[in-house]
Chains A and B, each alone.
Chain A
Amino acid sequence: MDVLKKVPVREQNPKVRATNFNEVCLGYNLEEAQAEATRCIQCKNPKCVTGCPVSIDIPGFIKEIGNADVEAAFKVIGKYSALPAVCGRVCPQESQCEERCIRGIKGEPVSIGKLERFAADWARDHKITPEMPKEHNGRKVAVIGAGPAGLTCAGDLAKMGYDVTIFEALHEPGGVLVYGIPEFRLPKDTVVKVEVDNVKALGVKIETNVIIGKSATIDELMEEEGFEAVFIGSGAGLPKFMGIPGENANGVFSANEYLTRSNLMKAFDKSYDTPIITGKRVGVVGGGNVAMDAARTALRLGAEVYIVYRRSEEELPARAEEVHHAKEEGIIFKLLTNPTEILVNENGWVSGMRCVEMELGEPDASGRRRPIVKKDSDFVLELDTVIMSLGTSPNPLISSTTMGLDTNKHKCIIADAETGLTSREGVFAGGDAVTGAATVILAMGAGKAAAKGIDAYLKSR
């Protein structure tokens, strides 16, 4: 074994997996995990922990895997993380823990993400469930949104003895875990459902089909239904469009619509009723994880797919593994390219997209080099479907129906970074609803912090 290289993880062959929705990465087995665990130097001052948004004791759990005591490894992770099977799969480890791994200075970092996933999957296969809360104080807390932030906050509060109800707008709990991230990255029935069931096993109630701001308001929850505190984890689900001509033509979708049809409504499975347009030549505008998810979904539905992104490969915000997998599967990357117009045929359908080539200039406010249009470079990309994957912002449904809840100019709820407290007493918030679209693990961290904040608040009353 070459100690400078990660133990390779088995994956489905790219040509095969481009035609199915099964999970791409097959994960380590015990032997592979143990071998990878030995690469960890067990640093006295672990840098990896400082890169983790929830400060998981990484050397701690890796040591237990090395000892083949996977249950102990799972328990270590469980002290810090509520959704290890999810985070192991979707965290951008390359910019978090693995970026700071000392092993990575000379060779490849320790494969921390795959080890976390291994421990979580092992625990699921061996039906290890979280510890039940020891006490119940009967005080009611409402959580809005059954996504990563809400599930985490609810789970932690339940462990502290509170009576928690999660109100979820959609018909299935999970938030981005069900509607955003595709089946081939995060299986719903095996992985997500078990994580949700574990939260329910702690005594948390989940009421689906309740849209706070419409079916009930926060004021009603607190004044009429006996909830003493509320956590808002409603996410950032509002899609962005470019505003270019032709954007309302038939065949132009937001990535949210496309992915919701495929992931939540399972439109990729013909036995489910919701339809999805499969397209033959699909252009996905954007370069983040959502763009990769949309592109790889379209590919699996039989299309030739282009990613159209205005900056270069280095600036792609998507997780490195997803870009790598997308390329292996045959997605064509049209970088330094920006759309100016969607061309529409006489039936109102997309027939192509006019684009211009870009060059990179000086960095802008986000620190990334600013794309500038190259003169006389416009060309037409022939397409029949366009998916706009430009980012999302918080849905104003809650902030616009809750008195005294302050938001910033991006409609994000303003909340204290440490406790999650908003401008309204007893109302806390965290995750994408506060930061704008970000990651699962940051949402989870916010859920944990808010649970502590709510506990402190309720104990003081």
Chain B
Amino acid sequence: MEENYIYTITKKESLANSIYLMDVKAPRVAKNCYPGQFVIVKMDEKGERIPLTICDYDRAAGTVTIVFQALGTSTKRMAEYEEDEAFRDFTGPLGHRSELIDMPADELSKKKILFVAGGVGTAPVYPQVKWMKENGYDVDCIIGARNKELIILEDRMKKYAKNVYITTDDGSYGFKGNVNDCIKDLVNNQGKQYDLVIAIGPMIMMKFVCILTKELGINTIVSMNPVMVDGTGMCGACRLTIGNEVKFACVDGPEFDGHLVNFDEAMKRLQIYKSEEGRAVLRKEDGDTHHNDNCQIHVD
């Protein structure tokens, strides 16, 4: 780390095994960002440009909060950074802010909204739930993960959401099942009615939530996380098929109407830079947890 790097980490918290939260000093981003948008972080001279959706921000302190999972080489290196160390580059806010923010109050107040947060996707769901509460709206939120250890931001979410429903695949905490099982339970068994679902999490999760909500007739917004390079609309790496149009996640998104997203194509494109060796390493490290029996597709 060089002496003249200016994007200092003012706080570091471990939210779960390999999931970290960091507050980073980035005054220009903090001043203008909104829930739904993302930043691009580049740790050092040789690092990649890594897109991360914003988890929180403090305009007065000039800091932005990011949450990431240490999975590959870059994020593992990022996880080793401590408070008072600094990143070389940190830019944003990129993408469009959540459409809830621009919705007229009389329209928004009539909507019954369910947020569905999967794994690390809980981080970008949190600022939207917080914004809703701070502006006088009640929302429900499902937080889902494979097991109890991977449930993050629960206490923070409970401060702002009217109802928080925790669900784990193995039943180690809360409801036993995946997020779809939880949605079905809320709608079919608990008489809940929703007009809008906002689902953020792994692409495979968002795909299956959208299949369910289409059956249930509930409009759904998702936040897409394709591979990116510049994040400003220059390269097209993040291109997605939405309906019958090609859109760039970085400038047209990252949020889109989930029922129009071609998830299969997007998930295939996530594989472009994954190598056989990389996958072999993951298989070895993950051990038993590498495959989830509840996962309906082996996107290995």
| A interface, CB within 8 angstroms of B | 169-171, 179, 208-211, 214-216, 237-239, 241, 243, 247-248, 250-251, 253-254, 256-257, 260-261, 265-266, 271-275, 277, 347-348, 395, 397
A243 to chain B, nearest CB (A): 8
Besides A215-B32, A238-B234, A256-B235, 11 other A-B contacts (C-beta < 8 A):
A171-B49, A179-B234, A211-B92, A215-B29, A243-B246, A248-B269, A253-B236, A257-B229, A273-B48, A274-B48, A277-B272
A211 to B28 alpha-carbon distance, docked (Å): 10
Residues A237 and B269 in contact, CB atoms below 8 Å apart: no
User: Scoring B residues 34 to 57 as 1 if CB is less than 8 Å from chain A, else 0, what string do you get?
Assistant: 000000001000111100000000
Closest to A348 in B: B268
Residues A273 and B46 in contact, CB atoms below 8 Å apart: yes
Residues B32 and A257 in contact, CB atoms below 8 Å apart: no
A32 to chain B, nearest CB (A): 37
Closest to A216 in B: B28
A256 to B234 alpha-carbon distance, docked (Å): 7
B8 to chain A, nearest CB (A): 14
Closest to B237 in A: A257
Closest to A172 in B: B89
A261 to B92 alpha-carbon distance, docked (Å): 20
Instruction: Knowing A215-B29, A272-B46, say if A171 contacts B92 (CB, 8 Å).
Output: no
Closest to B91 in A: A209
25 examples of A-B residue contacts, CB within 8 angstroms: A169-B91, A170-B232, A179-B234, A208-B89, A210-B28, A211-B92, A214-B93, A215-B28, A215-B29, A216-B32, A241-B239, A247-B246, A248-B241, A248-B269, A250-B268, A257-B229, A257-B235, A260-B230, A265-B229, A266-B46, A274-B229, A347-B268, A348-B265, A395-B233, A397-B232
A395 to B230 alpha-carbon distance, docked (Å): 13
Instruction: Knowing A257-B229, A273-B74, say if A239 contacts B236 (CB, 8 Å).
Output: yes
A169 to B251 alpha-carbon distance, docked (Å): 14
Residues B271 and A211 in contact, CB atoms below 8 Å apart: no
Residues B88 and A238 in contact, CB atoms below 8 Å apart: no
Residues A209 and B235 in contact, CB atoms below 8 Å apart: no
* B263 interfacial by beta-carbon distance below 8 Å: no
A52 to B273 alpha-carbon distance, docked (Å): 44
A275 to B232 alpha-carbon distance, docked (Å): 19
Q: Which of B199-250 contact A (CB under 8 A)?
A: 229-230, 232-237, 239, 241, 246
Q: Which A residues are in CB contact (< 8 Å) with B4?
A: none
A211 to B95 alpha-carbon distance, docked (Å): 11
B13 to chain A, nearest CB (A): 24
* B261 interfacial by beta-carbon distance below 8 Å: no
Q: Which A residues are in CB contact (< 8 Å) with B120?
A: none
Pick from B232, B235, B272: contact of A254, CB below 8 A.
B235
Pick from A215, A241, A395, A397: contact of B91, CB below 8 A.
A215
Instruction: Knowing A211-B94, A239-B235, A397-B251, say if A170 contacts B269 (CB, 8 Å).
Output: no
* B73 interfacial by beta-carbon distance below 8 Å: yes
* B137 interfacial by beta-carbon distance below 8 Å: no
* B90 interfacial by beta-carbon distance below 8 Å: yes
Q: Which A residues are in CB contact (< 8 Å) with B49?
A: 171, 265, 274
B172 to chain A, nearest CB (A): 35
A165 to chain B, nearest CB (A): 13
B201 to chain A, nearest CB (A): 22
A256 to B230 alpha-carbon distance, docked (Å): 10
Pick from A211, A241, A261, A273: contact of B232, CB below 8 A.
A211
Pick from B31, B32, B90, B229: contact of A261, CB below 8 A.
B229
Residues A248 and B265 in contact, CB atoms below 8 Å apart: yes
- The secondary structure that dominates the A interface is loop
Q: Which A residues are in CB contact (< 8 Å) with B271?
A: 250, 348
Instruction: Knowing A210-B91, A241-B246, A248-B269, say if A257 contacts B236 (CB, 8 Å).
Output: yes
Q: Which B residues are in CB contact (< 8 Å) with A211?
A: 91-92, 94, 232
Size class of the B contact interface (CB-based, 8 Å): 35 or more
Q: Which B residues are in CB contact (< 8 Å) with A347?
A: 268
B271 to chain A, nearest CB (A): 7
The 8 closest A-B pairs by CB, nearest first: A257-B235, A348-B268, A209-B91, A171-B89, A237-B234, A254-B236, A215-B28, A272-B46
Closest to B230 in A: A260
A243 to B239 alpha-carbon distance, docked (Å): 12
Instruction: Knowing A248-B241, A248-B269, say if A171 contacts B42 (CB, 8 Å).
Output: yes
- Among A243, A247, A253, A273, chain B packs the most CB atoms within 10 A around the CB of A273
Residues B234 and A239 in contact, CB atoms below 8 Å apart: yes
Q: Which B residues are in CB contact (< 8 Å) with A210?
A: 28, 91
B143 to chain A, nearest CB (A): 29
Closest to A234 in B: B232
- Among A211, A266, A395, chain B packs the most CB atoms within 10 A around the CB of A211
Q: Which B residues are in CB contact (< 8 Å) with A275?
A: 273
Instruction: Knowing A171-B89, A211-B94, A265-B48, say if A260 contacts B269 (CB, 8 Å).
Output: no
B288 to chain A, nearest CB (A): 27
B232 to chain A, nearest CB (A): 6
Pick from A237, A241, A273: contact of B47, CB below 8 A.
A273
Residues B233 and A238 in contact, CB atoms below 8 Å apart: yes
Closest to B89 in A: A171
A396 to B74 alpha-carbon distance, docked (Å): 31
A404 to B152 alpha-carbon distance, docked (Å): 45
Q: Which A residues are in CB contact (< 8 Å) with B47?
A: 273
A170 to B94 alpha-carbon distance, docked (Å): 12
B120 to chain A, nearest CB (A): 20
B215 to chain A, nearest CB (A): 27
Residues B89 and A209 in contact, CB atoms below 8 Å apart: yes
B89 to chain A, nearest CB (A): 4
Residues A397 and B230 in contact, CB atoms below 8 Å apart: no
Q: Which A residues are in CB contact (< 8 Å) with B237?
A: 253-254, 257
A277 to B31 alpha-carbon distance, docked (Å): 37
A219 to B73 alpha-carbon distance, docked (Å): 40
A298 to chain B, nearest CB (A): 16
A266 to B74 alpha-carbon distance, docked (Å): 16
Closest to B262 in A: A248
Q: Which A residues are in CB contact (< 8 Å) with B273?
A: 275, 277
Pick from A171, A251, A265: contact of B88, CB below 8 A.
A171
Q: Which B residues are in CB contact (< 8 Å) with A216?
A: 28, 31-32
Q: Which A residues are in CB contact (< 8 Å) with B236?
A: 239, 241, 253-254, 256-257
A169 to B48 alpha-carbon distance, docked (Å): 16
Residues B229 and A170 in contact, CB atoms below 8 Å apart: no
Q: Which A residues are in CB contact (< 8 Å) with B230?
A: 170, 260
A276 to chain B, nearest CB (A): 9
- Among A171, A208, A247, A254, chain B packs the most CB atoms within 10 A around the CB of A171
Q: Which A residues are in CB contact (< 8 Å) with B265?
A: 248, 348
A128 to chain B, nearest CB (A): 27
Residues B233 and A397 in contact, CB atoms below 8 Å apart: yes
Residues B232 and A395 in contact, CB atoms below 8 Å apart: yes
Residues A260 and B93 in contact, CB atoms below 8 Å apart: no
Closest to A167 in B: B28
